[in-house]
Amino acid sequence: MGDYVSALEVAPDGGVCIAGLGDGQVVGFDLSTGEEGFTIAAAHAGSVLGVSISPDGRYFATCGQDEVAKVWSAEGALVRELRGGGSAWVEHVAWAPAGGRIATAAGKKLCVWMPDGERIVETEPLASTVTALAWRSDGSGLAATCYGGVHILPFVAGAKMRHLAWKGSLISLAWSPDAKVIACGNQDSSVHFWRLKSGQDSQMSGYRFKPKALAWDSESKLLATSGDADVTVWDFRGKGPEGTQPLQLEGHKSLCTRLAFSPRRAVLASGSQDRSVLLWEPRKHGKPIGFAVLEDEVTGLCWHPEHHTLVGADASGTICSWEVA
Amino acid sequence: MKKIPVTVLTGFLGSGKTTLLNRNLSENHGKRIAVIENEFGEIGIDQALVINADEEVFEMNNGCICCTVRGDLIRILGNLMKRKDKFDHILVETTGMADPGPVAQTFFVDDDLRELFSLDGIVTLVDAKHVHLHLDDSSECKEQIAFADVLVLNKTDLVSGHELEQLERRVTSMNSMAKVLRAQNASVPIAALLDIGGFDLDRAMAAKPTFLEPEYPFEWAGTFEIEKGVYELVLEDGPDPTMDLVASFLDSDEHAGSRGDADHAARIWSEVARSALPGERIEIGAAEPVRLKLDSAGAKRFELRAPRRGRIGLYTQHLPSEFQLQVLDSGVAVRPSSEQTFAAGHSHDDQVTSVGIHLEGEIDGDRLSQWVSQLLRDKGTDIFRMKGILNIKGSRSRFVFQGVHMLFDGREDRPWGIEPRASDLVFIGRKLDRDELTRGFERCLA
């Protein structure tokens, strides 16, 4: 593609893969054929910062450095713009897995929209700029991180907004598929997580760098975290991970940048600054079971929902799909 | 990959940051510059990308060191690097009241920024006309001056030459490492902003800090060769109603500004001054200073009597140029064979200072690192910046280092070669104890 792939997503039905680029382009591919379906030349002024596909695969939303989020048809036709007001970049967009809502974050504000463009939530400014968004797997809650903790907006009648306080700058976020645990990477090179039912929280430190990539396996038992060349995997079975040694997956030569668990099996894909993509079965061994090399720092990794295909992207615009056994 | 240099622009509201940006960025400088701006909507320039940011300062732990960083810069600069139109230079403008510490620390503490960007320097604009309104009681104002690699004294057209000199001396006494530029209408060459190398270890101490002489109660010293007899001292109208003066014979072949003679004059200065009205006599070599009464209008003439031939020093409380002071011999002006100005010790009492220490002899590396880590633990918040070149025992090469608060960066540099081996260390900070620092450093001698 010739430019930094800043956002990459595969549709929940596995039909298309959509990439947002550093020059403002958005490109759609047909995953079954690998053909380029459409190119939107200037979807955003400046860089595209986020892409999120609707659960039914019929639409997708993008955001970028131009103060606006946009909704497109799966064929790449503009459906509508979501303008939140204010002059901040829209840095995050997330389409709820159910319920049809779309969340955007621009500066310190969160907005939630209906697909017809109606804005149903606009929060007061949070403590600092929102650094990550994640929906609960059933779409009934939205989590956002910033300095000072995690804010959770409920979308069920009568529930109140919840704040998981932490005196630190949270920079990444992953909500477990079973909805029980929220894990965050912290600017001060640690991982923090909360068990939502009890409110109990734990801090895992010892990382060399800030953990920007986090991924849960489909059973919500393994949490893979970046923060060094090695991938650190925490096991939530039994009493863990507190007081246990994490699994260390050694293989990359420099900082791990992307992590993605297959939706079907406990197979983990990891990408690194050193251009390599490695496949692991963390429960079985600490050695990679497959590898591939891109042309630059890995900036995107996504699985096909049926596990058979992995898509990777890098900082110089290479997008590659691999068949996985 | 070459790191992208970042210049930080600080200065109080009204000091001319926006004018400076507008001026420089509108020029045809041939660079791709992104400006991260914190005061709203003031610039909109085609030649540069302008991004508005809210300053988000937060504390973070970096190992055992706690420091404050700018979260907004981490995010914005990280995202900028994803664009196709890569930048040659980044300018970060802070708000008027900002402490430059967090901005600087951000570039040393954050993984991503450290890898992609290098802090080129901190430029502080000073409103020459109004800075005195803030300089005494605003810690931000002092910090902005103390952190600077380049100090631009702006609006020089609104103050007198003397006021400007006073200001320059004052800011230099606070920050001896900064390069001082004078400007009207924020007009400084863009090169002064874009290749500063303030944090570049290769250029650490490339320009020797301008340390002032020890502070004396006088601002000026002139050396004169005179014969026995009576001269005339003439002063025109000036800004002050009185001026103290010491006229003494110099001990040696030295000039009046030399350390020994200036110290001698300072001792005389501490005696009670004798008043003199125009027309009265001033005795060269008197044991006390003379206070010239200058409230009458027009030229004021004093008799300056030399009991013998010799080399004398005249030490004046204010600059002679303020009064067009002249020494006349039968109506003909006698020029000083040398003259020197001094920082005016009586004019201010700044908590923010620079301390420079020069040591001959080799430094023990272990003792040094113990001392520095102890010092930073105890005083890190008060030490804004430090730089040094060290003569470490057992090493053929110079050791260069620089630090911001508690963050510290050092390494071996080129071999000493024929350069005389010695250590130079400069601290800029608040409430620095020169003697204690000197003693501490001396204890590191091998």
A70-128 tens-digit pLDDT:
999 999 999 999 987 667 889 999 999 987 899 999 988 999 999 899 999 999 989 88
Q: What is the per-residue pLDDT for B346? A: 42
| C-beta atoms of B83 and A47 within 8 A | yes
Residue in B71, B81, B84 nearest the CB of A147: B71
Q: What is the per-residue pLDDT for A319? A: 94
Return the half-sphere exposure (C-beta side, CA atoms, 13 A cut-off) of residue B442. 7
Residue in B60, B76, B84 nearest the CB of A22: B84
Q: What is the per-residue pLDDT for B347? A: 45
| C-beta atoms of A4 and B82 within 8 A | yes
Residues of A at the B interface (Cβ-Cβ below 8 Å)?
A: 3-4, 6, 21-23, 46-47, 49, 65, 87-89, 91, 107-108, 128-129, 131, 147, 168-169, 187-188, 209-210, 255, 315
β-strands A141-154, A36-40 pairing: unpaired
Q: What is the per-residue pLDDT for B42? A: 53
Position of tokens 């024929």? Answer: B418
Contacts of B51 in chain A (CB under 8 A): 89
Q: What is the per-residue pLDDT for B207? A: 66
Q: What is the per-residue pLDDT for B48? A: 67
pTM: 0.75
Tell me the C-alpha distance between A272 and A261, whole Å. 15
Average pLDDT, chain A: 93
| C-beta atoms of B60 and A87 within 8 A | no
Residue type for B70, please?
R
**Is B43 near chain A, with CB under 8 Å?**
no
Q: What is the per-residue pLDDT for B63? A: 58
A227-250 tens-digit pLDDT:
999 999 999 998 879 888 999 999
Tell me the C-alpha distance between A99 and A101, whole Å. 6
Q: What is the per-residue pLDDT for A86? A: 67
Q: Are B47 and B53 in contact (CB under 8 A)?
A: no
| SS3 state at B438 | helix
| SS3 state at A257 | strand
Return the half-sphere exposure (C-beta side, CA atoms, 13 A cut-off) of residue B50. 18
Comparing CA positions, the residue from A280, A191, A289 lying closest to residue A242 is A191
A322 class by beta-carbon count within 10 Å (0-12 exposed, 13-18 middle, 19+ buried): middle
| SS3 state at B399 | strand
Q: What is the per-residue pLDDT for B343? A: 63
* Sequential pLDDT tens for chain B (446 residues): 689 999 999 998 888 888 888 887 777 777 888 888 876 555 555 566 777 777 788 877 655 566 888 888 998 898 888 876 778 999 999 888 888 889 999 998 888 898 899 999 999 999 998 888 888 888 889 999 999 999 999 999 999 888 898 899 889 888 988 999 999 988 888 888 888 888 887 776 666 666 655 667 888 999 999 999 999 999 999 888 999 999 999 876 778 888 778 888 888 988 889 999 999 999 999 999 999 999 888 999 999 999 999 999 999 998 898 899 999 998 899 999 988 887 654 445 568 888 888 888 899 989 998 999 899 888 888 999 998 889 999 999 999 988 888 888 888 888 988 888 889 889 999 988 888 999 999 999 98
Tell me the C-alpha distance between B273 and B305, whole Å. 17
Buried b / exposed e along A73-104 (16+ C-beta atoms within 10 A): ebebeeeeebbbebebbbbbbbbbbeeebbbb
Other beta carbons less than 10 A from residue A207's beta carbon = 19
For B263, residues 6+ apart whose C-beta sits below 8 A from its C-beta are none
**Is B1 near chain A, with CB under 8 Å?**
no
Residue A224 has pLDDT above 90, yes or no: yes
Q: What is the per-residue pLDDT for B213? A: 52
Find out whether the peptide bond into B5 is cis, omega within 30 degrees of 0: no
Q: For chain B, how many residues are written?
A: 446
Tell me the C-alpha distance between A208 and A230, whole Å. 10
Q: Are A230 and A212 in contact (CB under 8 A)?
A: no
Position of tokens 């497109």? Answer: A72
* ipTM of this complex prediction, to 2 decimal places: 0.79
| C-beta atoms of A128 and B71 within 8 A | yes
For B101, residues 6+ apart whose C-beta sits below 8 A from its C-beta are B67, B68, B143, B147, B384, B404, B405
Return the percentage of chain A with pLDDT > 70, whole number: 99
Comparing CA positions, the residue from B46, B18, B149, B31 lying closest to residue B90 is B31
| C-beta atoms of A23 and B74 within 8 A | no
Q: What is the per-residue pLDDT for B97? A: 83
